[in-house]
């Protein structure tokens, strides 16, 4: 009875103490947070590229970079541009969080509502005691509404079969491999003119630029090379995509030709009406083949066919030979093109394999440490430990059991994501020394030594 009475007296005090300590206990274990923001006013236009900012906040600092997944949305194109993540720090309810933000590029191919998938993003962060903790966040429900406007003026619900135009003011420029004189390019029969058309789309990926409309006049053959696409082109006026089209015109006969203007279609983001950018037309004058057509005194041109009164047979033979040669080259190119494409794919695959190998990742990590680039060193170190050891840098350092290695890895993460701002410069020397003791790089091949004695039976 006495024990029961004491328990009844102590129970209210225990409950009161737990209620008083609960806010501090709850605050001592903050959880990761995820935010999703659509960077455009809705409804967006069909064909308009919209940025979707995904920010992940982890308590203290990250020990491994979050693996942002690819998002699949039916009826839309969603890509993750290869841009460096934005790092930040933030204080929420008295707790310090480290933030990593990546921006997805969203483009609706038709009108309607689109919902982002509830993807889960996993990572590792440091707990209050500095030990690695596994964290994960799930993208919240996010809806994007799109209306017609980027499909060449199609009405809502009638976008099928129409080209998807970028919603951006495109800039088109052109360059010729022959300099014009007084606005006219002068060539000889059999010559070729290369016309390079460059299209720039601000705040838009290059893959969204529609191929330019180009034609050749009668009697001129045009060859179009594969376009070159780049989202980080040098010399561009700002962020955006660049498409480069190379057009080759072959002139087989003398005469005066006008190459039509090249037009690229787009949608005006202000008026939501279709528009176009144009590279101007080109005037070309083609004379007879070099060395042909010299007139003899008082008679027809040299090499003229009998009874033709000045039609040079050499010109006809050269024209026929050029036509047969061009046809043979075209047939050979059709046969070689698939083989060259497969060869380029194999070479690209080998380059990607070499770049993704553990040795290459280790070399990038050491180079970033020597140059003092903390962000690049953290990203490269995470890729190397996952490729070489299948784990995060913090877990690998802890498994090795080297205190200096653990301190170097932790110091790198604290420099990037710590609560207190660290020094502007980061010294990667300790991490280089620690990696040198435990990281294995591919050894160079040794050359076979020459035999000291000559062969027995020369």
Q: Are 376 and 412 in contact (CB under 8 A)?
A: no
Q: Give the bridge partners for 200, in sequence order.
A: 171, 242
Tokens of 289: 């083949």
Q: Give the bridge partners for 258, in sequence order.
A: 283
Distances (CA, A) of 171 to 275, 280, 392: 12, 13, 45
36: number of Cβ within 10 Å = 14
Strands 44-45 and 143-147: parallel
Q: How many C-alpha atoms does 60 have within 13 Å on its Cβ side?
A: 21
Q: Are 108 and 146 in contact (CB under 8 A)?
A: yes
Kindly give the confidence (pLDDT) of every residue in the chain, 458 residues in length, as a single tens digit, with 9 standing for 90 and above: 565 666 566 666 667 766 665 555 545 568 899 999 998 888 888 888 889 999 999 999 999 989 999 999 999 989 888 778 899 999 998 899 999 999 999 998 888 999 999 999 999 999 888 889 999 999 999 999 988 655 554 444 444 555 678 888 888 999 999 989 888 999 998 899 999 999 998 888 888 888 888 888 988 999 999 999 888 766 666 678 899 999 999 998 899 999 999 999 888 877 778 888 999 999 999 998 765 444 444 444 444 444 444 445 455 566 667 777 777 887 777 778 788 878 888 887 777 776 667 788 888 889 889 988 888 888 888 888 888 888 888 888 888 888 888 888 888 888 887 765 556 688 889 988 888 888 764 444 444 444 555 555 54
Strand order in the sheet with 184-188: 184-188, 282-287, 255-259
Q: Which helix (H) or strand (E) is 364 found in, with range?
A: helix 358-371
Q: Measuring CA to CA, which residue among 277, 200, 197 is closest to residue 238?
A: 200
d(CA 59, CA 413): 13
Domains and CATH numbers, the chain: 33-147 (2.60.40), 166-291 (2.60.40.740), 358-438 (no CATH)
Q: At what angle do helices 358-371 and 374-389 cross, to 10 degrees?
A: 160
Q: Are 159 and 258 in contact (CB under 8 A)?
A: no
Query: Which DSSP letter does residue 421 get?
Result: -
Q: Measuring CA to CA, which residue among 30, 75, 85 is closest to residue 53?
A: 85
Q: Measuring CA to CA, which residue among 265, 263, 266, 268 is closest to residue 278?
A: 263
Q: Which residues contact 322 (CB under 8 A, 6 or more apart)?
A: 190, 252
263: number of Cβ within 10 Å = 13
Q: Measuring CA to CA, which residue among 318, 258, 321, 251 is closest to residue 286?
A: 251
What's the length of the chain?
458
Give CA 217 to chain center in angstroms.
36
Q: Which residues contact 257 (CB under 8 A, 6 or more apart)?
A: 217, 219, 220, 251, 283, 284, 285, 286
pLDDT given at position 418: 72
Query: Secondary structure of the chain: what % helix, strand, coil (to 5)?
Result: 30, 30, 40
Query: Which DSSP letter does residue 445 get?
Result: P
pLDDT given at position 291: 55
Q: At what angle do helices 358-371 and 313-356 cross, to 10 degrees?
A: 80
Q: Are 374 and 84 in contact (CB under 8 A)?
A: no
pLDDT given at position 208: 84
d(CA 67, CA 114): 23
């Amino acid at each position: 009875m006495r024990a029961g009475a004491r328990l009844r007296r102590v129970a209210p005090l225990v409950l009161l103490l737990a209620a008083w300590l609960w806010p501090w206990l709850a605050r001592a274990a903050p959880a990761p947070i995820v935010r999703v923001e659509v960077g455009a006013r809705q409804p967006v236009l069909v064909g308009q590229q919209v940025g979707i900012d995904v920010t992940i906040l982890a308590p203290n600092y990250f020990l491994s970079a979050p693996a942002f997944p690819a998002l699949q949305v039916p009826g839309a194109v969603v890509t993750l541009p290869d841009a460096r993540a934005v790092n930040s720090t933030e204080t929420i309810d008295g707790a310090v969080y480290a933030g990593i933000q990546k921006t997805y590029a969203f483009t609706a191919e038709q009108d309607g509502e689109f919902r982002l998938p509830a993807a889960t993003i996993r990572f590792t962060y440091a707990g209050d005691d500095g030990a690695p903790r596994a964290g994960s966040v799930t993208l919240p429900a996010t809806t994007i509404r799109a209306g017609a406007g980027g499909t060449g003026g199609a009405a809502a619900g009638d976008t099928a079969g129409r080209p998807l135009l970028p919603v951006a003011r495109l800039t088109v420029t052109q360059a010729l491999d022959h300099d014009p004189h007084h606005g006219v390019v002068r060539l000889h029969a059999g010559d070729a003119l290369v016309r390079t058309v460059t299209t720039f789309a601000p705040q838009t990926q290059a893959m969204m630029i529609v191929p330019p409309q180009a034609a050749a006049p009668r009697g001129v053959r045009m060859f179009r090379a594969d376009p070159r696409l780049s989202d980080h082109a040098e010399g561009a006026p700002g962020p955006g995509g660049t498409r480069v089209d190379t057009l080759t015109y072959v002139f087989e006969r003398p005469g005066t030709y006008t190459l039509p203007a090249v037009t690229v279609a787009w949608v005006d983001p202000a008026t939501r009406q279709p528009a176009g950018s144009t590279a101007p037309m080109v005037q070309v004058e083609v004379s007879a083949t070099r060395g042909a057509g010299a007139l003899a005194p008082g008679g027809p041109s040299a090499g003229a066919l009998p009874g033709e009164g000045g039609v040079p047979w050499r010109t006809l033979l050269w024209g026929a030979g050029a036509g047969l040669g061009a046809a043979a080259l075209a047939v050979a190119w059709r046969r070689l093109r698939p083989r060259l494409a497969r060869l380029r794919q194999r070479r690209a695959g080998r380059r990607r394999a070499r770049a993704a190998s553990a040795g290459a990742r280790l070399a990038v990590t050491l180079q970033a440490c020597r140059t003092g680039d903390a962000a690049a060193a953290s990203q490269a170190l995470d890729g190397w430990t996952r490729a070489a050891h299948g784990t995060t840098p913090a877990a690998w350092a802890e498994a090795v059991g080297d205190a200096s290695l653990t301190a170097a890895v932790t110091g790198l993460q604290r420099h990037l994501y710590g609560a207190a701002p660290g020094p502007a410069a980061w010294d990667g020397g300790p991490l280089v020394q620690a990696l040198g003791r435990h990281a294995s790089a591919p050894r160079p091949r040794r050359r076979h030594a020459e035999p000291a004695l000559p062969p027995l039976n020369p």
